[in-house]
Amino acid sequence: NNNSIIVVYDNLGIYSSTRVWWMFKTMGHKNVFVLNGGFPGWLENGFPTEEKQTQQFEKGNFKVQFHSENVKDFDFIKTNLNNSNQIVIDARSSGRFNGTAPEPREGLRSGSIPNSFNIPYGDVLENGKFKSKEVLKAIFSKINPENKELIYSCGSGLTACIILLASELVLPNKTSVYDGSWTEWSQIEK
Protein backbone atom coordinates (compact mmCIF):
# COMPACT_ATOMS: atom_id res chain seq x y z
CA ASN A 1 0.00 0.00 0.00
CA ASN A 2 1.06 3.61 -0.39
CA ASN A 3 1.40 3.94 3.39
CA SER A 4 3.15 0.58 3.98
CA ILE A 5 6.50 0.56 5.73
CA ILE A 6 8.79 -1.78 3.81
CA VAL A 7 12.00 -3.18 5.30
CA VAL A 8 14.21 -4.93 2.76
CA TYR A 9 16.90 -7.43 3.74
CA ASP A 10 18.96 -10.16 2.15
CA ASN A 11 20.95 -13.18 3.24
CA LEU A 12 24.37 -11.60 2.59
CA GLY A 13 24.08 -8.68 5.00
CA ILE A 14 24.10 -5.79 2.56
CA TYR A 15 23.97 -6.71 -1.11
CA SER A 16 20.87 -7.06 -3.29
CA SER A 17 18.60 -5.44 -0.69
CA THR A 18 19.95 -2.01 -1.66
CA ARG A 19 18.85 -2.52 -5.27
CA VAL A 20 15.32 -3.42 -4.11
CA TRP A 21 15.33 -0.33 -1.84
CA TRP A 22 16.40 1.88 -4.77
CA MET A 23 13.76 0.38 -7.07
CA PHE A 24 10.98 1.09 -4.55
CA LYS A 25 12.21 4.67 -4.12
CA THR A 26 12.51 5.15 -7.87
CA MET A 27 8.94 3.96 -8.29
CA GLY A 28 7.76 6.48 -5.70
CA HIS A 29 7.50 4.54 -2.46
CA LYS A 30 8.61 6.72 0.43
CA ASN A 31 8.69 4.40 3.45
CA VAL A 32 11.28 1.84 2.40
CA PHE A 33 14.35 0.94 4.42
CA VAL A 34 17.27 -1.52 4.31
CA LEU A 35 17.98 -3.67 7.35
CA ASN A 36 21.65 -2.97 8.07
CA GLY A 37 23.34 -6.35 8.36
CA GLY A 38 20.45 -8.14 6.69
CA PHE A 39 19.26 -11.53 7.85
CA PRO A 40 22.69 -12.56 9.19
CA GLY A 41 22.74 -9.44 11.39
CA TRP A 42 19.21 -10.19 12.58
CA LEU A 43 20.23 -13.71 13.59
CA GLU A 44 23.47 -12.49 15.16
CA ASN A 45 21.44 -10.26 17.48
CA GLY A 46 19.19 -13.15 18.51
CA PHE A 47 16.00 -11.58 17.15
CA PRO A 48 13.06 -13.95 16.55
CA THR A 49 12.47 -15.74 13.25
CA GLU A 50 9.71 -17.93 11.89
CA GLU A 51 9.37 -20.67 9.32
CA LYS A 52 8.16 -19.64 5.88
CA GLN A 53 4.39 -19.29 5.81
CA THR A 54 2.02 -19.10 2.87
CA GLN A 55 -0.17 -16.05 3.26
CA GLN A 56 -2.89 -14.46 1.19
CA PHE A 57 -2.95 -10.67 0.95
CA GLU A 58 -5.47 -8.30 -0.50
CA LYS A 59 -4.26 -6.27 -3.47
CA GLY A 60 -2.65 -3.07 -2.24
CA ASN A 61 -3.31 0.50 -3.36
CA PHE A 62 0.29 1.46 -4.26
CA LYS A 63 0.43 3.70 -7.31
CA VAL A 64 3.73 4.02 -9.15
CA GLN A 65 5.12 7.53 -9.43
CA PHE A 66 8.28 6.99 -11.46
CA HIS A 67 11.14 9.29 -10.49
CA SER A 68 13.04 9.42 -13.78
CA GLU A 69 15.70 11.66 -12.23
CA ASN A 70 16.91 8.59 -10.27
CA VAL A 71 17.96 6.82 -13.48
CA LYS A 72 20.59 7.90 -15.98
CA ASP A 73 21.06 6.32 -19.40
CA PHE A 74 23.99 5.94 -21.80
CA ASP A 75 23.21 9.15 -23.71
CA PHE A 76 23.09 11.21 -20.53
CA ILE A 77 26.43 9.84 -19.32
CA LYS A 78 28.13 10.34 -22.72
CA THR A 79 26.80 13.90 -23.06
CA ASN A 80 27.94 14.83 -19.54
CA LEU A 81 31.40 13.19 -19.40
CA ASN A 82 33.04 16.55 -18.71
CA ASN A 83 30.29 18.13 -16.60
CA SER A 84 31.93 19.42 -13.44
CA ASN A 85 28.57 19.40 -11.60
CA GLN A 86 28.32 15.60 -11.72
CA ILE A 87 30.53 12.72 -10.64
CA VAL A 88 30.21 9.15 -11.91
CA ILE A 89 31.26 6.70 -9.19
CA ASP A 90 31.91 3.05 -10.06
CA ALA A 91 31.34 0.36 -7.42
CA ARG A 92 33.35 -2.41 -9.13
CA SER A 93 36.65 -3.66 -7.79
CA SER A 94 39.66 -1.47 -8.53
CA GLY A 95 41.12 -4.18 -10.77
CA ARG A 96 38.03 -4.21 -12.98
CA PHE A 97 37.81 -0.39 -12.90
CA ASN A 98 41.50 0.02 -13.84
CA GLY A 99 41.37 -2.71 -16.47
CA THR A 100 43.92 -4.88 -14.70
CA ALA A 101 41.43 -7.64 -13.81
CA PRO A 102 39.15 -9.40 -16.27
CA GLU A 103 35.42 -8.77 -16.34
CA PRO A 104 33.35 -11.73 -15.12
CA ARG A 105 30.99 -11.48 -18.11
CA GLU A 106 32.38 -13.31 -21.11
CA GLY A 107 33.40 -11.02 -23.96
CA LEU A 108 33.18 -7.82 -21.92
CA ARG A 109 36.28 -5.64 -22.03
CA SER A 110 37.87 -4.15 -18.92
CA GLY A 111 38.21 -0.48 -18.02
CA SER A 112 36.07 2.40 -16.84
CA ILE A 113 33.95 5.33 -17.96
CA PRO A 114 36.13 8.40 -18.66
CA ASN A 115 36.43 10.85 -15.74
CA SER A 116 34.71 8.44 -13.33
CA PHE A 117 35.89 7.61 -9.82
CA ASN A 118 36.16 4.24 -8.14
CA ILE A 119 34.76 3.36 -4.73
CA PRO A 120 34.53 -0.44 -4.61
CA TYR A 121 31.34 -1.43 -2.84
CA GLY A 122 33.29 -3.53 -0.35
CA ASP A 123 35.01 -0.37 0.89
CA VAL A 124 31.78 0.90 2.48
CA LEU A 125 30.97 -2.42 4.21
CA GLU A 126 32.33 -4.31 7.16
CA ASN A 127 31.03 -7.71 8.24
CA GLY A 128 27.91 -7.33 6.10
CA LYS A 129 27.01 -3.90 7.51
CA PHE A 130 27.72 -0.33 6.50
CA LYS A 131 30.82 1.16 8.08
CA SER A 132 30.38 4.00 10.58
CA LYS A 133 29.21 7.37 9.34
CA GLU A 134 32.62 8.87 10.16
CA VAL A 135 34.38 6.30 7.97
CA LEU A 136 31.83 6.72 5.17
CA LYS A 137 32.32 10.50 5.24
CA ALA A 138 36.08 10.00 4.89
CA ILE A 139 35.62 7.60 1.96
CA PHE A 140 33.37 10.00 0.05
CA SER A 141 35.49 13.06 0.89
CA LYS A 142 38.22 11.63 -1.39
CA ILE A 143 36.10 12.38 -4.46
CA ASN A 144 35.37 15.95 -3.32
CA PRO A 145 31.57 15.68 -3.73
CA GLU A 146 30.71 19.27 -2.71
CA ASN A 147 27.20 19.92 -4.11
CA LYS A 148 27.62 17.72 -7.17
CA GLU A 149 25.15 15.11 -8.36
CA LEU A 150 26.54 11.65 -7.68
CA ILE A 151 25.79 9.10 -10.40
CA TYR A 152 26.48 5.50 -9.42
CA SER A 153 27.59 2.73 -11.74
CA CYS A 154 28.95 -0.80 -11.45
CA GLY A 155 28.86 -3.87 -13.69
CA SER A 156 25.10 -4.10 -14.12
CA GLY A 157 23.41 -1.70 -11.67
CA LEU A 158 23.27 -3.86 -8.53
CA THR A 159 26.29 -2.92 -6.40
CA ALA A 160 25.98 0.72 -7.51
CA CYS A 161 23.01 0.85 -5.13
CA ILE A 162 25.20 -0.21 -2.20
CA ILE A 163 27.46 2.82 -2.47
CA LEU A 164 24.50 5.05 -3.35
CA LEU A 165 22.81 4.16 -0.05
CA ALA A 166 26.14 4.55 1.80
CA SER A 167 26.46 8.06 0.40
CA GLU A 168 22.87 8.93 1.33
CA LEU A 169 23.69 8.02 4.93
CA VAL A 170 26.29 10.83 5.09
CA LEU A 171 25.83 13.26 2.18
CA PRO A 172 22.99 15.56 1.09
CA ASN A 173 23.89 15.24 -2.61
CA LYS A 174 21.38 14.36 -5.31
CA THR A 175 21.97 10.76 -6.40
CA SER A 176 21.08 8.55 -9.35
CA VAL A 177 22.11 5.25 -10.95
CA TYR A 178 23.47 4.72 -14.45
CA ASP A 179 21.42 1.56 -14.83
CA GLY A 180 23.21 0.21 -17.91
CA SER A 181 26.49 0.58 -16.04
CA TRP A 182 29.76 -0.84 -17.37
CA THR A 183 28.03 -3.71 -19.21
CA GLU A 184 26.21 -1.26 -21.46
CA TRP A 185 28.97 1.36 -21.67
CA SER A 186 31.70 -1.08 -22.70
CA GLN A 187 29.57 -2.58 -25.48
CA ILE A 188 28.46 0.74 -27.00
CA GLU A 189 31.41 3.06 -26.40
CA LYS A 190 34.49 1.47 -27.95
Give the Cα separation of 141 and 33 in Å (integer): 25
Is the separation of the CB atoms in 139 and 162 below 8 Å? no
Residue type, 53: Q
SS3 125: strand
Task: Give start and end residues of each alpha helix (H) in 32-108.
Answer: 38-44, 74-79, 94-98
Amino acid at position 133, single letter: K
Choosing from 34, 124, 154, 177, the catalytic residue is: 154
161 carries an active-site annotation: no
Other beta carbons within 10 Å of 48? 5
Helix boundaries (H) for 4-159 = 17-26, 38-44, 74-79, 94-98, 133-141
Active-site positions? 154
